[in-house]
Amino acid sequence: MCLLFKQRKLTQIVFGHRDVVTCLARSESYIGGDCYVLSGSRDATLLLWYWNGKSSSIGENTA
């Protein structure tokens, strides 16, 4: 589970890992601020997320 905050307000909860997330990496941003975020966890998994720069949230790649 990942909690995303903006201006001290919870904006999104993202589920995926089954244990503590231990690392995050981000790709270079595309036009509009879109990028990919890779998360690693103690559950020995890596998850690739799409960051939508327009909505400032994890979401669908509409390109």
CA distance 32 to 41: 28
| Per-residue model confidence (pLDDT) at position 19 | 94
31: number of Cβ within 10 Å: 7
44 in helix, strand or coil? coil
One digit per residue, the tens of pLDDT, for the chain of length 63 reads 555 566 677 777 788 899 999 999 999 988 888 899 999 999 999 999 998 888 878 875 555
| Domain range summary for the chain, segments of one domain joined by + | 2-58
| Per-residue model confidence (pLDDT) at position 2 | 54
> How much is the pTM?
0.70
CA distance 2 to 58: 10
